[in-house]
């Protein structure tokens, strides 16, 4: 782990069995006063790949799960088809770029946002800027052709795609191929592209799933955007490990102020990370205060018309208080503090960093169609908060607010103000009479071990996006 960078700053006043309750053992104002019963039961069959299971010390895991019709393995399919699961009083269907675009950004618009599995059914209209970097471990030898096949089938615009090996630390020359991580990276690049088809898609491959290699890859991703895309972008991380005592020193690796000082802080970049798939409980980098933590929902439909009905907390969605990222007034480049006080309205000044922040479909029963030749042998339905992180990065890119961690203002002679600007924007709307209800879906049903409630909760954060305002 690297040491924290010393920077001058002006300040204005993981995985357990799917759906199981993970005890965090932390104390403080962020811990729920009541711990209800278990998480919402998982509908249908779920396959947890080896890459998403808990890893040996020093290594991280993916945060995706697969929908399986057989219960014990995913099946590579020739083409997407209708797949439904009957949940209590509702229906869950495999989602597509068209149906997810309809639901989350109103593009395309259709009655009920019912999934269309036909070739050429499309997705959100062209939008986006700069680049979205997806940081993953190992090599996906078919990444470029997977993305091209995905785009061709759904009738999406071709992507500007680049693969980058994060091998400058000497850990490898070419990352070895891995089928489990290939599913992850295929999904990441495909759904980042769905919501921001005009943004360049950069797949940054670490030599392994070790903390050392993935944190190095994070630096490669940020630097690549700073060097090649002056308008900035996003970095998505669909992986997680347990929290550790030294993580504060790594927090600033996920903040653009570490990289863009040479450009006058004019290259804004936001980091996203999956909140995890083990139900209530947390991991890193999701708890990093510079990161937008992505939680998970279930998309529920009418059992008679298949039209969208509601979203619920997905039982596997990670969330809860950090045991490491506590409040301090001493600048270290990490921690919750005056520079990262976006959760003040919920937990008060001295609360700990608590996840998630924003949510997206993650239930494999309502998962999304993904094409991964090396990982699945073709098409499959994939869920988990691994889907949420790149999709939300694409939606925020599409919104075009170009926020980072620095705000420059002439009032202070161009002085730099480091803060968590995207999360500031998300949380600021919770108290509004109109903006919150217009810009977010407030998830109030379901449980990940702690029940979803009105406004912010430990499963879905502020809720899920509705349109581009306030993102």
For 296-306, the pLDDT digits (tens) are 999 999 999 99
**pLDDT recorded at residue 409:** 85
DSSP 10: B
Q: How many CA atoms lie within 13 A of 421 on its CB side?
A: 18
pLDDT band, residue 14 (cuts 50/70/90): very low
Strand order in the sheet with 46-47: 46-47, 65-67, 378-383, 368-372
Nearest to 313 by CA among 294, 301, 299: 299
Q: Which residues are within 8 A (CB) of 29 and not within 5 positions of it... i.e. 6 or more apart?
A: 347, 348, 350, 351, 352
Contacts of 434 (CB under 8 A, 6+ apart): none
The answer to whether position 364 is within a domain reads: yes
The SS3 assignment for 416 reads: strand
pLDDT band at 6 (very low <50, low <70, confident <90, very high): very low
Cα–Cα distance measured from residue 72 to residue 8, given in angstroms and rounded to the nearest whole number: 53
Residue 314 maps to a domain: yes
Q: Is residue 18 part of a domain?
A: no
What confidence tier does 288 reach under pLDDT thresholds 50, 70, 90?
Answer: very high
- Average predicted confidence (pLDDT) for the chain: 91
Rg (CA), the chain: 20
Compute the average pLDDT of residues 115-128.
Answer: 97
**Total domain count, the chain:** 1
Q: Residue 137: helix, strand or coil by DSSP?
A: strand
Judge whether 323 and 51 are in contact, CB under 8 Å: no
* Enclosing domain of residue 339: 46-465
DSSP H or E run through 166? strand 161-166
* Structural domain contains residue 29: no
Least confident among 247-256, 344-353, 408-417: 408-417
Which residues are 358's β-sheet partners? 294
- What is the structure's pLDDT at 36? 54
Does residue 302 belong to any structural domain of this protein? yes
> Is the pLDDT at 100 greater than 80, yes or no?
yes
pLDDT of amino acid 33: 52
440 in any annotated domain: yes
Q: What is the pLDDT of residue 19?
A: 33
Q: What is the pLDDT of residue 331?
A: 92
Does the pLDDT value for residue 4 go beyond 50?
no
Q: Does some domain include residue 40? A: no
Higher pLDDT, 414 or 360: 360
pLDDT, position 399: 98
In a domain, 224, yes or no: yes
CATH number at residue 80: 3.40.50.200
How many beta carbons lie within 10 A of that of residue 196, not counting itself? 31
The CA distance from 88 to 92, in Å, is: 10
**What pLDDT does 137 receive?**
98
Given a cut of 60, whether residue 428 has pLDDT beyond it is yes
pLDDT at residue 332 greater than cutoff 90: no
Over residues 150-209, the pLDDT tens digits come to 999 999 999 999 999 999 999 999 999 999 999 999 999 999 999 999 999 999 999 999
Return the closest-CA partner of residue 422 out of 239, 275, 289: 289
DSSP letter string over 239-274? EEB---TTGGGGGGGGSGGGT-GGGTT-S-EEEEEE
Tokens found for residue 64: 């995706």
């Amino acid at each position: 782990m690297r040491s924290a960078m010393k920077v001058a700053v002006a300040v204005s006043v993981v995985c357990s069995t799917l759906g199981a309750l993970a005890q965090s053992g932390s104390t403080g104002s962020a811990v729920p006063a009541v711990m209800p019963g278990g998480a919402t039961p998982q509908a249908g069959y779920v396959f947890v790949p080896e890459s998403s299971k808990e890893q040996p010390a020093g290594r991280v895991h993916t945060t995706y799960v697969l929908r399986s019709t057989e219960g014990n393995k995913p099946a590579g399919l020739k083409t997407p088809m209708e797949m439904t699961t009957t949940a209590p009083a509702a229906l869950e269907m495999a989602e597509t770029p068209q149906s997810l675009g309809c639901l989350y950004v109103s593009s395309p618009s259709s009655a009920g946002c019912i999934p269309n599995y036909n070739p050429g059914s499309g997705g959100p209209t062209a939008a986006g800027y700069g680049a979205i970097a997806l940081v993953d471990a190992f090599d996906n030898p078919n990444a470029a052709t997977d993305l091209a096949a995905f785009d061709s089938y759904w009738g999406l615009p071709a992507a500007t795609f680049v693969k980058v090996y994060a091998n400058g630390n000497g850990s490898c020359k070419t990352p070895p191929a891995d089928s489990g991580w290939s599913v992850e990276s295929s999904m990441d690049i495909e759904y980042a592209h769905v919501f921001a088809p005009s943004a360049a898609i950069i797949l940054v491959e670490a030599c392994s799933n070790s903390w050392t290699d993935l944190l190095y890859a994070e630096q490669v991703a940020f630097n690549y955007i700073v060097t090649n895309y002056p308008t900035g972008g996003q970095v998505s991380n669909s992986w997680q490990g347990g929290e550790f005592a030294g993580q504060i020193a790594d927090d600033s690796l996920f903040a653009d102020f570490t990289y863009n000082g040479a450009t006058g802080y004019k290259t804004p970049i936001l980091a996203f990370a999956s909140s995890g798939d083990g139900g209530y409980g947390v991991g890193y980098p999701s708890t990093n205060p510079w990161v937008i933590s992505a939680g998970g929902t279930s998309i529920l439909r009418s059992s008679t018309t298949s039209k969208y009905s509601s979203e619920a907390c997905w039982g596997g969605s990670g969330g809860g208080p950090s045991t490491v990222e506590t409040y301090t007034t001493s600048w270290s480049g990490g921690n919750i503090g005056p520079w990262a006080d976006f959760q003040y309205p919920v937990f008060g000044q001295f609360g700990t960093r608590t996840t998630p922040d924003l949510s997206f479909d993650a239930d494999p029963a309502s998962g999304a169609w993904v094409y991964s030749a090396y990982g699945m042998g073709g098409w499959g339905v994939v869920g988990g908060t691994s889907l949420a992180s790149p999709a939300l990065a694409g939606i925020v890119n599409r919104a075009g607010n170009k926020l980072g961690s620095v705000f420059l203002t002439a009032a202070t002679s161009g002085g730099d103000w480091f803060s968590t600007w995207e999360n500031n924007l998300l949380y600021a709307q919770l108290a509004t009479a109109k903006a919150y209800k217009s810009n977010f879906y407030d998830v109030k049903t379901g449980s990940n071990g702690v029940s979803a409630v009105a406004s912010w909760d430990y499963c879905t954060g502020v809720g899920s996006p509705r349109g581009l305002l306030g993102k």
